[in-house]
Amino acid sequence: MSQQVNTFEVKFLPSGKRVAVPEDSLLLEAANEAGISLDTPCGGQGRCGRCRVKVDSGKVSQQESHRLTKQQIAEGWVLACSTRVVDDVVILEPTKKEREQVVVETADTLTETPLTCGFTFAPSLQRIHLDVPPPSLEDAANDVDRVKRALASQHGIEHARLELPVIQKLAAALRQKNWEVTVTIFDDKSGGPAEVINIYPGKKKGPVLGLAVDIGTTNVVIDLVDLATGRILDRASERNKQIIRGEDVISRIYYSEKGKGLLELQNLVIETINLLINDLAKKHKFSPDEVEDMVVAGNTIMLHFFLGLRAKSLREEPYVPTLIDFPLLKAGQLGVKINRNAYMYCIPAVAAYVGGDIVAGVLSSCLYQSEKLTLFLDIGTNGEIVLGNADWLVSCACSAGPAFEGAGVQDGMRATEGAIEQVRINSNTLEPEVSIIGSGKPLGVCGSGMIAALSEMFLTGVVNKSGKFNVDFVQGIMKKNSRVRLGDHRYEYVLVTAKESGTGKDIVLTEVDIDNLIRVKGSIYSGMAVLARTVGVDLNDVEEVLIGGAFGKHVSAEQAIIIGLLPDLPWNKFRYLGNTSASGSYSALISRAARDTSREIGRKITYLELIADTSYMNELTGAIFLPHTDIARFPSVKQILEKTGRQ
């Protein structure tokens, strides 16, 4: 005897379509029957949250979903793929705007959030207007003394110093506008007297300019800053020209050891900086000579090359740099094309592989002020990790390799226009859906896209826990149109076919790429784990994770957890900060206090050498697995795997 099954009516608004469905049908099935198409890129597993609809009236049986906030649930939002009909219901179809909103919604996406750590705006540089009393037979003091006297009497600046480049300009400048001049004073309050670094006849108009420079291994970024207001006028960035001599720091160190290699590398980075200054000057119509202050942040090796220092000892045990606290330099000493008398402050480093870029990151992220146990990650060619709070800071570096920056991966690219930054794979069809940066056609995959692709391939069973393709499984589902095929480098998954790509070629992720990604993520995770254990804290007790570096902006904390790159913490504990090295450099440019703080941070961070830690290798091999050999460390991933029946 067949059981009586209740039937309920589901009405959709505003279309007014109605269908009658048996009890316990999914809302998604009802919608399909009514001819209403809801997006289900994850294949209706409740993973992506794209099939969101709102219940207007009537009861439904809803499964818990991490895709909906408490507020959304209270408002009546449900996921059609995991909600069952138990009553007559009226459903509001999502508007086009609401649908799009889900796509860009930041619930699981780390968005760039600027931070301020309460520094008062107080640049080291100020421009002062001076009416210097003209000389007479009664008062025939020399020009330099007259300027010093005027500074002391009119502005209280005692014993100002002047160096030759300014002294050479002095006689003409003073007399050109009848003893009326504008001087630029540099005083970083570090103890020495203030210095007149530039002089202009008459009243100088236009902004006081400074540069915040981030020398990255791959990219050099310059922020042009108006030092009268603190406003960033523009940002320019360019590949570090040193790249032609090696993609990573180690190969560049090798290059620097040969012949005039070091000099060439120094020239290449200075050329890159000068080129960017030149571009900014043309665009904003100023003379490079008017730029009078500069702060530089970069890793220890980049700074060694910038200063022309021998770097060999940085790649050999015990990894000793020439120095980590850099002296204040004058632009003219290195040939940086700003005012040659301008000062350049380099943010101090911690050790050979934790540089000023990381100190700048700790500075700009306010980590050194935080009461919370905070993890700071800068993931570039190297992965640097800082753990701590206002009381203590420890750091380590892992040689991650440039995969997340797009290098060493067959179709990898940086997070620029055309890069695939998000991937969803339908768990029923195994077909992918990709989103890219910008509006063109896909050209390659950037770091966040790789994380997304790997996470989705893993969850849908395209690859197994060691990152190898489940070839038979995929072919069983996709038949002849299998996205997994044997390529030049073992098996590969086709993310975008040649027809749809902007390169005219298939965009793939190969098994070799995946091996590489798993090694990189394993290296970063195990660095974090060892660092945490060294100071006796549990990684899962971390209260905030701050991320800087080369990911695309839309790196998903959820997906990074699924592959075991980031510790299994609630998504709201992660914040993506963008280029923290550049922002730390900016802070030091506009605030003397920030400069002092950067020195303090540099001294405060304790460096842990992973190579010297006997437990690191064991941690590393444990982390080279999806998500980790010890699944207990990733309880949320374990839960997802159990749900999808892949455990």
Partner 1 sequence: MAPVELPVEKWTGKIKEVKLGGNGRKSMVIGGETTLPFLKFEGVLPNKPVIAVEVQDAPPKDWPQALVSAYGDALKDPGEWAKKALSFGAEIIYLRLKSAHPEEGNTGAAEAKKAVAKVLEAVDVPVIVIGPEVPEKDNEVLVAASEVGKGQRLALGNCVEKNHRTIAATCIADGHVAIAKTPIEINLAKQLNILLCDVGLAADSIIMDPTTGSLGYGLEYTYSVMERLRIAGLMGDGMPSMPMLCDVGEESWRQKESRVTTGVPETWGDPAERAINWEIITAISLLNSGANIITLRHPKTIEFLKNSIAQLTQAG
Q: Say if residue 94 is preceded by a cis peptide, omega within 30 of 0.
A: no
Distance linking the first and last C-alpha atoms of the chain: 37
Q: Is 625 in the site for partner 1 (CB under 8 A)?
A: yes
Q: Is 638 in the site for partner 1 (CB under 8 A)?
A: no
> Which among 104-112, 204-212, 219-227, 622-630 is the span making contact with partner 1, rule CB under 8 A?
622-630
Binding mask 61-80 for partner 1 (x = CB under 8 A): --------------------
Candidates 51, 41, 37, 38; CA nearest to 432 is 41
Nearer to partner 1, 207 or 622 (CB): 622
Buried b (16+ CB within 10 A) or exposed e, 347-369: bbbbbbbbbbbbbbbbbbbbbbe
Determine the size of the site formed for partner 1 (CB under 8 A).
Answer: 15
> In Å, how far are 351, 410, 574, 632 from 517, measured between CA atoms?
26, 12, 21, 22
Q: Is 254 in the site for partner 1 (CB under 8 A)?
A: no
Nearer to partner 1, 278 or 618 (CB): 618
Q: Which residues inside 559-618 make contact with partner 1, applying CB under 8 A?
A: 618
> In Å, how far are 42, 84, 567 from 644, measured between CA atoms?
12, 18, 21
Nearer to partner 1, 112 or 630 (CB): 630
> Pick from 466, 481, 540, 572: which binds partner 1 (CB under 8 A)?
466
| Site of tokens 């200054």 | 277
CB of 161 closer than 8 Å to CB of 195: yes
Q: What angle do CA 227, 600, 594 make, to 5 degrees?
A: 15
> Least distance to partner 1 from the beta carbon of 457, Å?
15
CB of 360 closer than 8 Å to CB of 376: no
> Least distance to partner 1 from the beta carbon of 45, Å?
18
> Which among 66-74, 207-215, 461-469, 538-546 is the span making contact with partner 1, rule CB under 8 A?
461-469
Rounded CA gap, 402 and 243, in Å?
12
Nearer to partner 1, 260 or 468 (CB): 468
Please provide residue 473's backbone torsions phi and psi, each rounded to the nearest 5 degrees. Answer: -60, -45
> Least distance to partner 1 from the beta carbon of 465, Å?
6
Binding mask 470-509 for partner 1 (x = CB under 8 A): --x-------------------------------------
Q: Is 514 in the site for partner 1 (CB under 8 A)?
A: no
Residues 6+ apart with CB under 8 A from 643: 45
Burial of 205 (0-12, 13-18, 19+ CB in 10 A): exposed
> Pick from 465, 490, 553, 643: which binds partner 1 (CB under 8 A)?
465
CB of 434 closer than 8 Å to CB of 496: yes
> Pick from 622, 636, 643, 644: which binds partner 1 (CB under 8 A)?
622
Nearer to partner 1, 465 or 533 (CB): 465
Nearer to partner 1, 62 or 644 (CB): 644
Rounded CA gap, 220 and 579, in Å?
11
> In Å, how far are 156, 179, 461, 584 from 142, measured between CA atoms?
20, 13, 83, 42
Binding mask 130-159 for partner 1 (x = CB under 8 A): ------------------------------
Rounded CA gap, 239 and 237, in Å?
7
Q: Is 515 in the site for partner 1 (CB under 8 A)?
A: no
DSSP run (H or E) holding 298: strand 291-298
Nearer to partner 1, 60 or 462 (CB): 462
> Which among 257-265, 280-288, 597-605, 625-633 is the span making contact with partner 1, rule CB under 8 A?
625-633
Nearer to partner 1, 183 or 623 (CB): 623
> Which among 93-101, 437-445, 497-505, 623-631 is the span making contact with partner 1, rule CB under 8 A?
623-631
Sign (positive or negative) of CA dihedral 492, 494, 495, 501: positive
Nearer to partner 1, 78 or 477 (CB): 477
Q: Is 519 in the site for partner 1 (CB under 8 A)?
A: no
Nearer to partner 1, 27 or 623 (CB): 623
> Least distance to partner 1 from the beta carbon of 464, Å?
6
Rounded CA gap, 357 and 378, in Å?
9
Judged by the rule CB under 8 A, the positions of this chain that interact with partner 1 are: 464-466, 468, 472, 618, 621-622, 624-625, 629-630, 632, 646-647
